[in-house]
Amino acid sequence: GAREDARLIADAERYGCDVRGAMGWGKTITEFGRIPATAALEMGRTLLRTHPDADSIFFPSPHWPVIEAIAPLEQEFGVTVMAAAQACIWDALRLAGVDDRIDGYGRLLREF
């Protein structure tokens, strides 16, 4: 809800981000399994159309399916999309000494 959005916005601002907007699906963590696989793409499109000056979007929770939305949103809007699960995978690969570039899952895995 609004409290969770405020917490996430405050976290992002602490790291120097200028937050243009936030949106949730309105589910608690125990209901995340019922969020449609298309939700991240729909929410991302809504946010980026509402805030066309945004240069990136962040999906902070690794508990729902967002990975399939990353590349389409980057291609459609020319933004960088970051997702918690994607960042965890990137970090785990780098910690294991794997520095391969992986196409199809966003700029982070493709370029860094």
What pLDDT score does 30 carry? 78
pLDDT tens-place string over residues 2-14: 788 888 899 999 9
Across residues 12-37, what is the average pLDDT?
Answer: 86
Buried (b) or exposed (e) across 11-31, using 16+ Cβ within 10 A? eeeeeeeeeeebeeeeeeeee
What pLDDT score does 48 carry? 97
Q: What is the pTM of this model?
A: 0.87
pLDDT tens-place string over residues 37-94: 899 999 999 999 999 999 999 998 888 889 999 999 999 999 999 999 999 999 999 9
